[in-house]
Amino acid sequence: MTGTVKSSAGLDVRRRRILFRAWHRGTREMDLLMGRFADAQIEGLTEDEVAAFEILIEVEDPDLFAWISGSLPTPAAVDTPIFRKLRDWHLSGGSIPDESPLRNA
């Protein structure tokens, strides 16, 4: 994959900016990790998740990659619900596991 496959048409300005920034991180590994997540999730994120994702976009690539991959412990300030959603999405191969309590019923 060489870049976004998602059109920004129909997205508000804030989400368009996030989508662009997620694909233009500085390192190709983080472009793919953050960009693919943004492609898949940007439309469904709540406003609080959007705000938290904007903060994650500003984290330096080596640190964020180390925390997502688990090679370094994640600082409490970064270990937010959106960070865990991104990490879990990445570790599951690009999907968010169903968290419904009825799933295992």
Summarised one tens digit per residue, pLDDT across range 58-77 is 999 999 999 999 999 999 99
For 13-91, CATH gives 1.10.150.250
Return the amino acid letter for 88.
D
Q: pLDDT tens, 16-38?
A: 999 999 999 989 999 999 999 99
CB 89 within 8 A of CB 40: yes
Q: Provide the whole-model pTM.
A: 0.78
Among candidates 77, 76, 3, which has minimal Cα distance to 34? 3
Per-domain residue ranges for the chain? 13-91
Give the confidence band of 7 by pLDDT, cuts at 50, 70, 90.
Answer: low
Q: Which residues contact 76 (CB under 8 A, 6 or more apart)?
A: none
